[in-house]
Structure 1
């Protein structure tokens, strides 16, 4: 397998994983009943769509025998997002605990695992790559790390809140 084919395989795998993540977030929207969570998931879906477009354009270039150049994809570069402002974060947590929305813990845990796996995959592949391919994979890793931290924060808070709930009503 040539070096170009190996790079294509990495980005094809990445594209598949991003599409799977997007589908999970779309399905999760149906389980979440809280406006703030729905809003955050919609923003995350939009970001996943940008990741998919970013990787698709890289794959298009690679299939044409061109070099990866993330600098040419500036229109797809993501600015950091806070998903919830502080007030929305507080309201979201209160609504989850008051509504005893156990499925939210599962959704946030699964989302965290998806994003964690992707950020680790991109970081691992970036450590083996060079030049612009390394830059592109590093960018993807940073984006996924932001998602990972977001979901971990809520997964941890929700798990802690449920662990402290009185048993038996």
Structure 2
């Protein structure tokens, strides 16, 4: 396994890629709901980045992982609850379906970005013997898996609609 500093730096890069993608594509959307979803993901990915940055800085100073399993479980509950609360209050699934995302390739790219993050975080978690590091990357994988599932489902739905559309309108 690569050294922990390199792993954290790579993970931070993944989160920055997500921030950039959602930020750029939020600016392209005319639908207010679709724009809000992407803007929220910018904030979420930024929180993930800041969390990783804090862990890296702590590791560089102390040679140890800062977050305990209890802290990580609390963070997981908070993020899961925020996402579920927003989904219920704004009917997130329905509003994504109704949004004007002009090109299904945006959804595919969003899914692939999240899937790559999930794969990387799961791989790090499975290859480390450090229990705290394993817990951090399992938590990150879980968060990103929720994002990936949302985009994959919507991408598949849109592709099915596209394939049923008569050619020539």
TM-score range, shorter chain: 0.7 to 0.9
Instruction: Work out the CA distance in 1 between the residues paired with 2:53 and 2:102.
Output: 36
> In the superposition, relative to structure 1, how do residues 157 and 107 fare at CA in structure 2: closer, same or farther (>3 Å)?
same
Alignment partner, residue 35 of structure 1:
32
Alignment partner, residue 112 of structure 1:
111
Residue 167 (structure 1) shift:
1.4
What TM-score comes out, normalization by structure 2 length?
Answer: 0.84
Instruction: Work out the CA distance in 2 between the residues paired with 1:40 and 1:159.
Output: 20
What TM-score comes out, normalization by structure 1 length?
Answer: 0.84
Residue 163 (structure 1) shift:
1.2
> In the superposition, relative to structure 1, how do residues 146 and 95 fare at CA in structure 2: closer, same or farther (>3 Å)?
closer
Q: Deviations over 1:92-113 (max 9, x none)?
A: 42454xxxx542x111100100
Alignment partner, residue 52 of structure 1:
49
Residue 48 (structure 1) shift:
0.3
> In the superposition, relative to structure 1, how do residues 95 and 60 fare at CA in structure 2: closer, same or farther (>3 Å)?
closer
1:10 aligns with 2:7: yes
> In the superposition, relative to structure 1, how do residues 29 and 65 fare at CA in structure 2: closer, same or farther (>3 Å)?
same
Equivalent position SS for 2:17: helix
Instruction: Work out the CA distance in 2 between the residues paired with 1:134 and 1:64.
Output: 20
Consecutive unaligned residues in structure 1, runs of 5 or more:
none
The answer to whether the 8 Å contact 1:40/1:84 transfers is no
Consecutive unaligned residues in structure 2, runs of 5 or more:
none
The answer to whether the 8 Å contact 1:34/1:92 transfers is no
The Cα RMSD (Å) is 2.3
Residue 76 (structure 1) shift:
5.8
